[in-house]
Chain A
Amino acid sequence: MALILAVVGCLVLFLGWAALPLLPSLIEARRRTDIKPLRVVRTSDVDIRHFAKAFQAWVEGHLGEALAVCRAGGGPVQGQLGDGTPYVALPDGAAPALTTPPTGPVSCGAVVLGSGNLSLPPRALFPHEAYAAGSVEVGEQSVCRAILAGGDLQLGRGCWSLRWLHARASLLARESCALHGRASADVSMRLEEGCRFERLHAPTVAFGTPVPPTPVSQEREPYTATDVPNLVEDAAGRWLVRRRLEIPAHRLVKSDLVVTGELRVGAGTRIVGNLKSHGDLYLAAGVVVEGSVVAGRDLSVGRGCDIRGPVVAERDGRIEAGTQVGSAKRPTTLSVRGLEIEAGSVVHGTVWAHGGGLVLPRPDAADPAAGPAKGSN
């Protein structure tokens, strides 16, 4: 009997020991503490205006009365939000009061609301959101967390925005501003030279002052599949090309083009289709692409190019002056890792520069119709 008990005891001990690592599994299987399906995001917060819309709704819901008092001529209204954050609602054209701490920058520690137009002083820090029913003008070298303008929004030279900006009309960022996060406008946007940015959206996003289109010869020789070296396949409206391809200048290509190496398109060539390269992609001056441009590595776009479809580069992009991406009627998306774009270019739609974008000064010495783009043939 004792022997049987000993054997059974050993067996139980062994089974218990063996099951020990499974204990968390067995407990979870029994308790069922984590049985909800993973959350699928059904409403899209990738909309660039997502924060602006949410802030607008919040202002109307929580501070609508304060704004109404201001609008009725009641003077500034001050108070505190539920979490203790102060707010100040200002009448049309007024500027918020600033505090000067013993150390650190001059700042306004309140959420700033303007019942009409709003003017934010220069060289000040605004760590909370700002809202105006009318236009907003920010003095030079100020730093703002986020601004929603019911009209135009103007940032003075050297301003920084930390989270987002939205203007219901136009947005102007003067020289050397830094627009971190999102910046959008319902009508148009202009970023002057030296501005840095990440994500932009407006029907028209101008970098510097737009330059007139580069005159390009409309005479183009057809470029057919028989002209393509290393052509693997011409099927389903697409040319598949192994390794590198260089299309000469002033050609007309009527096909989608997929190149497994580097792709160079000569000056003045017109592509009636879409372009894709696994390697770097170079468009020389005056190239017209009626479809999309997708680069597996870097993208270089010469002066005065016209790209109608989305532009995607998995690495960095450089766009020279006079280039237009999308059109007013057919806005599109430009998405690259890092972007250097010369003043004088225009994008209609969305610009993404995940690693940061920079507006370069336009090389005035160069003649738009002269030399090809960097790296072009």
Chain B
Amino acid sequence: MTRDRFPSHLRAWLAALGAALVVCGLVAAVAALPSDTPIPLGPRSPRPWYVLAMLVPLYAILLLICVYFIRHYWFTLNRLHGTQRHPYLDIDTADWPEVTVLVPAHDEEPVIAAVLTALLEVDYPPGRLHLLPVNDRSRDRTGKIIDEFAAQYPGRVVPFHRKKGEPGKAAALRDAMKRVTTDIALVFDADYVPGHGLIKQLVAPFFDPEVGAVMGRVVPHNVGQNLLTRLLDLERTGGYQVDQQARMNLKLVPQYGGTVGGVRRRALESVGGWRVDTLAEDTDATFRLLRGGWKTVYQNRSECYEQVPSTWPQRMRQVRRWARGHNEALWAHAGHLLAGPRTCFREKLDGWLLLNVYLMSPILLLGWLLAMALWYLGETRPGLIVILLVTSYSALGNFAIFFEVSAASYLDGSRARVRLLPLIMLGFLVGLFAISHETLLQILLPRRPGARVRWQKTEHPHTINDGGDEWP
């Protein structure tokens, strides 16, 4: 048997990474020197204190951006050339456990029948698959359609009509989980149509006693609607095909996304269950499970369609909600994650970087401001600014990183759509300012502990938006 701890390709990547770091360091050092003076050999006049006060954070920001830059290059190269991990995909024969599929539905009359029909036709032992559609305070015919299914398939479809309680998917899931008797619960949004073999693929990882959650790949369905949906399609492609799968390959921290996935009930309960006082219950669950020593598994081949926002205001609201929820997870988990005994170093590092993703937007803006201020204060270090601009362009782009998107499009076999890549800069800038705005608001006006979360449902073209529960 092979017992090499560091395979040759890994050694090659480590060597390449080391060389890249050295080169980056040298370039940064040379660029940081004054461009109009020779290399100083003697003592230099001290800089004013305020210049130093700006230079130090600027260098720190530059370093942080370089870390993300290297991280995303690493992910992309791993995805293109590394060993791909799909350890549970082969499990096609087993004594399949009982599983409950939750379908939270709030005013989903046009689509709820399709998802229930598809779920009744999946390849899974019928007696072991329980469907629990959650009619979450719907005001259309969603509840009636669910009841019709329950009457037609008694015992297999057991509806839960949630008529009161806090708004939002997290609260609905928390209430619905009280009715779940199986150890494994899968969650599908009502606008998803699962394929024939999807349930088995999503259940298979739970044979590993360390797995607390599993996540499939979400594929945008309304791609052709407009330019925004096309750009979001590219972002999603990069985020799942490269980012999530690379983290799975490298045994880092794949993220549970709240839908097209599932959780092990006893794992989730052991870390406190669903939290309803957060806007990103999926991120929160990922990190609480991680801190509890439970892994999240990403299944790249377990694909399901979703609708992405089709207007910029919807997109802005979605990004701001994600940013706020993600930052809440940052405050809640970053310290515990670094100090926790149940995670290894690479998980701590990747988890910490993942938690800080949304915080990087205001940090990047701050970096740009500092660089410009220093320029006008006479710190003529154009190299510094250029490096900042280039690395920030290359390293950040909301979730989907530019070279990740390119590699993902290549892996998906897409050709023409990747030509839109430069236009992602548009989404990047919108996201940058939306996230920065939200993060600053969050810092300046923090939510009181225990305060009620105001949920905003992401509108889909075929769903009815009640306009209620708007989030500011």
Chain A residues in the interface with B (C-beta under 8 A) = 21-22, 24-25, 27-29, 32-38, 40-44, 46-48, 201, 232-233, 235-238, 240, 242, 256-258, 260, 273-276, 291-292, 294, 298, 300, 308-310, 312, 314-316, 318, 326, 330-333, 335, 338, 349-350, 352
Contacts and interface: CB of A to CB of B under 8 A. Distances in A.
A44 B195 contact: yes
10 contacts: A29-B230, A34-B415, A36-B223, A37-B233, A40-B303, A41-B195, A42-B196, A258-B210, A333-B94, A350-B90
A273 B207 CA distance: 10
B94 A310 contact: yes
Contact of B209 (A33, A47, A238, A298): A238
A298 B3 contact: yes
Given A42-B196, A237-B266, A256-B209, A37 B219 contact: yes
A333 B92 CA distance: 7
Interface of B: 1-3, 85, 87-95, 123, 195-197, 204, 207-210, 219-224, 227, 230, 233, 237, 266-267, 269-270, 292-293, 301, 303-305, 341-342, 344, 412, 414-417, 419-423
A237 B3 CA distance: 32
A60 B222 CA distance: 40
Nearest to A22: B422
A192 to B, nearest CB: 23
A232 B344 CA distance: 13
B344 A35 contact: no
A34 B233 CA distance: 11
B121 to A, nearest CB: 10
Contact of A232 (B88, B90, B293): B293
A273 B266 CA distance: 15
B93 A333 contact: yes
Contact of A276 (B208, B230, B414, B416): B208
A314 B85 contact: yes
Given A28-B417, A40-B219, A274 B90 contact: no
Contact of A274 (B209, B222, B237, B292): B209
Contacts of B417: 28, 34-35
Contacts of B95: 308-309, 330-332
A275 B305 contact: no
Contact of B207 (A41, A44, A48, A292): A292
A349 B423 CA distance: 50
Contacts of B207: 274, 291-292, 294, 309-310, 312
A331 B94 CA distance: 6
Nearest to A31: B416
A46 B419 CA distance: 33
Contact of A312 (B87, B222, B267, B415): B87
A276 B210 contact: yes
Contact of B342 (A24, A233, A291): A233
A43 B196 contact: yes
Given A33-B416, A312-B87, A333-B91, A240 B197 contact: no
Contacts of A331: 93-95
Contacts of B2: 298, 315-316
Contacts of A350: 90, 92-93
A260 B91 contact: no
B342 A240 contact: yes
B209 A292 contact: yes
B270 A44 contact: no
Contact of A29 (B210, B270, B341, B423): B423
Contacts of A232: 293, 341-342
Contacts of B220: 37
Contacts of B3: 298
Nearest to B230: A35
Closest 6 pairs between A and B when the two form their complex, measured CB to CB: A35-B224, A34-B416, A44-B197, A256-B209, A335-B90, A349-B93
B126 to A, nearest CB: 17
Nearest to B83: A314
Given A291-B207, A318-B1, 18 more contacts: A27-B419, A33-B416, A34-B416, A37-B219, A37-B221, A38-B233, A38-B303, A46-B92, A233-B292, A235-B292, A310-B91, A310-B204, A312-B207, A331-B94, A333-B90, A333-B91, A333-B93, A350-B92
A333 B196 CA distance: 19
Contact of B266 (A37, A236, A291, A315): A236
B180 to A, nearest CB: 15
Given A37-B305, A40-B304, A42-B195, A312 B422 contact: no
A321 B195 CA distance: 39
A242 B342 CA distance: 8
Contacts of A314: 85, 87
Contacts of A242: 341
Contacts of B412: 38
Contacts of B195: 40-44
B419 A309 contact: no
A24 B91 contact: no
B414 to A, nearest CB: 6
B425 to A, nearest CB: 10
B216 to A, nearest CB: 10
A300 B270 CA distance: 32
Contacts of A240: 293, 342
Contacts of A276: 208-210
A338 to B, nearest CB: 8
Nearest to A203: B93
Contacts of A257: 209
A22 B424 CA distance: 11
Nearest to A239: B209
